Amino acid sequence: MPDTHTEALRFEHIVKRFGDFTALNDVSLAINKGELVCFLGPSGCGKTTLLRIIAGLEVQSSGAIIQNGKDISRLPPMMRDYGIVFQSYALFPNLTIYGNVAYGLVNRRLAKTAIRDRVTELLTLVGLADSGVKYPGQLSGGEQQRIALARALATSPGLLLLDEPLSALDAQVRVRLRGEVRMLQQRLGVTTILVTHDQEEALSIADRVVVMNHGVIEQVGTPMQVYREPASPFVADFVGRTNLLPAIVRENAELEIDGVRLGANGTPVGFRPGAQVSVFLRPEDVVVRGAGENLPGSLPGRIENVEFLGAVCRLGIRVEGIESQLVFADFSARGMLAFQLERGCPVRVTIPGRSIRIFPK
Ligand SMILES: Nc1ncnc2c1ncn2[C@@H]1O[C@H](COP(=O)(O)OP(=O)(O)OP(=O)(O)O)[C@@H](O)[C@H]1O
Ligand SMILES: [Mg+2]
């Protein structure tokens, strides 16, 4: 039995078809009270459709939505308990900022003084206490989204739905605002679903990330889980930069890539010799040493590509014998200078068995 003390929202076997096209295929999930969950996935995977179904703006073909233990599957949007913010600044252009935030409260026929107090409180909460008299057109994109957030929170909804609220903003504002959204969400304790296709955004603020692809959930987990223990090659590839190397399992749990043996590392448990697999490995887990340091199990290679990322450089290394693709490895920018590493330098690469994951091909 689901626990209504801790569970805020649950959807069960949601299917959504548009004609012959299945946009959501048997999606189920439970979300806890006060949790911030991110729906993360590529364009067209069904994130917005799922959010709209929760909001009642779209009707599922089958399946149920339970909020606080109550089946809301067929309730019209007006009867549901949520606030919503869209990607585009969907403020009413002809209303002042005050009028925008007050909108839902006026509809509820609250007393004028109660409305004024609440709007003042919300504008202060989003750091725009002095903007009440302005019109949306007089605010920046980031400010407009803060107001949209205030408007969504005005009636103290039990659920906050955010559909890519930050993606139209420039990078700096986006990063600052996502921190603010998270702080506000935690302070208010409001259960929140944030839709995004930006994996960094999802990893940085979510309690749990729901990775979606082609209308199904590929994985649900904490940011650390989906990053460190991806459940499928899709998740491994979509969440963070990764090496996905085609390999063959050999005897004694050895892996072979393009005929190069990586050495026994005990990882391919459950795979028969001869099995075709994909080896998943994060660039930060690849160990790079100078060409003179011939550690056991290390492979010779040459730096073919250097991508400067600030604190680290991402090296594209052509490992001898592995012709099909570069192996990406992160190396500290400081180390690059200290060891005078650059494009063309010979190196030795170690792929530690404990940090790789293996998927069937
Ligand atoms: N009203 C509709 N009629 C027909 N197809 C639709 C409709 N709404 C959505 N779709 C299709 O359903 C799929 C999922 O759409 P959805 O908007 O949920 O994607 P998304 O994950 O939000 O993508 P994005 O990141 O681009 O916003 C898409 O292939 C889309 O074309
Ligand atoms: Mg969308």
In whole angstroms, give the CA distance from residue 141 to residue 356. Answer: 42
Q: Answer for the pair 206, 194: CB distance below 8 angstroms, yes or no.
A: yes
Same domain as 349, residue 291: yes
In whole angstroms, give the CA distance from residue 322 to residue 302. Answer: 11
Does residue 53 have its Cβ closer than 6 Å to ligand 1?
no
53 alpha carbon, closest ligand: 1
Q: Look up the pTM and report it.
A: 0.90
Q: Which two tokens stand for residue 113?
A: 């003084």
Please tell me the distance between residue 321's alpha carbon and the centre of ligand 2 in angstroms: 43
Q: What is the pairing mode between strands 346-350 and 299-308?
A: antiparallel
Residue 216 counted as domain residue:
yes
Please tell me the distance between residue 85's alpha carbon and the centre of ligand 2 in angstroms: 12
Report the nearest-CA residue for atom 17 of ligand 1: 48
Residue 2 counted as domain residue:
no
Residue 326 counted as domain residue:
yes
44 alpha carbon, closest ligand: 1
Q: Which two tokens stand for residue 31?
A: 């979300």
Please tell me the distance between residue 28's alpha carbon and the centre of ligand 2 in angstroms: 19
Q: Which two tokens stand for residue 217?
A: 């959930």
Does residue 59 have its Cβ closer than 6 Å to ligand 1?
no
Mind spelling out the 3-state secondary structure of the chain? CCCCCCEEEEEEEEEEEECCEEEEEEEEEEEECCCEEEEECCCCCCHHHHHHHHHCCCCCCEEEEEECCEECCCCCHHHCCCEEECCCCCCCCCCCHHHHHHHHHHHCCCCHHHHHHHHHHHHHHCCCHHHCCCCHHHCCHHHHHHHHHHHHHCCCCCEEEEECCCCCCCHHHHHHHHHHHHHHHHHHCCEEEEEECCHHHHHHHCCEEEEEECCEEEEEECHHHHHHCCCCHHHHHHCCCCEEEEEEEEHHHEEEECCEEEEECCCCCCCCCCCEEEEEECHHHCEEEECCCCCCCCEEEEEEEEEECCCEEEEEEEECCCCCCCEEEEEEHHHHHHCCCCCCCEEEEECCHHHCEEEEC
Residue 92 counted as domain residue:
yes
197 alpha carbon, closest ligand: 1
Q: Which two tokens stand for residue 303?
A: 């730096």
Residue 275 counted as domain residue:
yes
Same domain as 257, residue 154: no
Query: Closest ligand 1 atom to the C-alpha of 52?
Result: 18
Interior angle at CA 290, CA 287 and CA 294, nearest 5: 80
Does residue 136 have its Cβ closer than 6 Å to ligand 1?
no
Q: Which residues contact residue 355 at a Cβ distance below 8 angstroms, ignoring those fewer than 6 apart?
A: 281, 282, 285
Tell me the residue range of the domain where 128 lies: 7-236
Q: In CATH, what number is assigned to the domain containing residue 184?
A: 3.40.50.300
Tens digits of per-residue pLDDT, 181-223? Answer: 999 999 999 999 999 999 999 999 999 999 999 999 999 999 9
Does residue 48 have its Cβ closer than 6 Å to ligand 1?
yes
Domain count, the chain: 2
Residues of the chain whose pLDDT is less than 70?
1-4, 89, 263-268
Same domain as 300, residue 186: no
The C-alpha R_g of the chain, in whole angstroms, comes to: 25
Same domain as 271, residue 202: no
Does residue 43 have its Cβ closer than 6 Å to ligand 1?
yes
Query: Closest ligand 1 atom to the C-alpha of 42?
Result: 25
Same domain as 252, residue 207: no
Residue 61 counted as domain residue:
yes
Same domain as 287, residue 181: no
Q: Choose the final residue of a domain: 236, 251, 277.
A: 236
Does residue 16 have its Cβ closer than 6 Å to ligand 1?
no
Q: Which two tokens stand for residue 310?
A: 């600030």
Identify any residues that bridge with 318 across adjacent strands, giving them in sequence order.
302
Model pLDDT, residue 267: 63
Same domain as 188, residue 128: yes
Same domain as 214, residue 273: no
Does residue 49 have its Cβ closer than 6 Å to ligand 1?
yes
Place of tokens 């909804």: 157
Q: In CATH, what number is assigned to the domain containing residue 249?
A: 2.40.50.100
CB burial of 298-328 (b: ≥16 within 10 Å; e: otherwise) equals bbebebeebeeeeebbbbbbbbeebeeebbb
Q: Choose the final residue of a domain: 236, 265, 296.
A: 236
Query: Closest ligand 1 atom to the C-alpha of 195?
Result: 22
Model pLDDT, residue 32: 97
Please tell me the distance between residue 16's alpha carbon and the centre of ligand 1 in angstroms: 10
Distances (CA, A) of 355 to 256, 265, 327: 16, 10, 15
What does residue 310 show for φ and ψ, rounded to 5 degrees? 105, -100
In whole angstroms, give the CA distance from residue 331 to residue 47. Answer: 35
Q: Choose the final residue of a domain: 200, 218, 236.
A: 236
In whole angstroms, give the CA distance from residue 311 to residue 284. Answer: 12
Please tell me the distance between residue 260's alpha carbon and the centre of ligand 1 in angstroms: 43
Query: Closest ligand 1 atom to the C-alpha of 49?
Result: 18
Same domain as 194, residue 83: yes
Please tell me the distance between residue 51's alpha carbon and the centre of ligand 2 in angstroms: 9
In whole angstroms, give the CA distance from residue 144 to residue 135. Answer: 10
Tens digits of per-residue pLDDT, 2-11? Answer: 566 799 999 9
41 alpha carbon, closest ligand: 1
Same domain as 247, residue 137: no
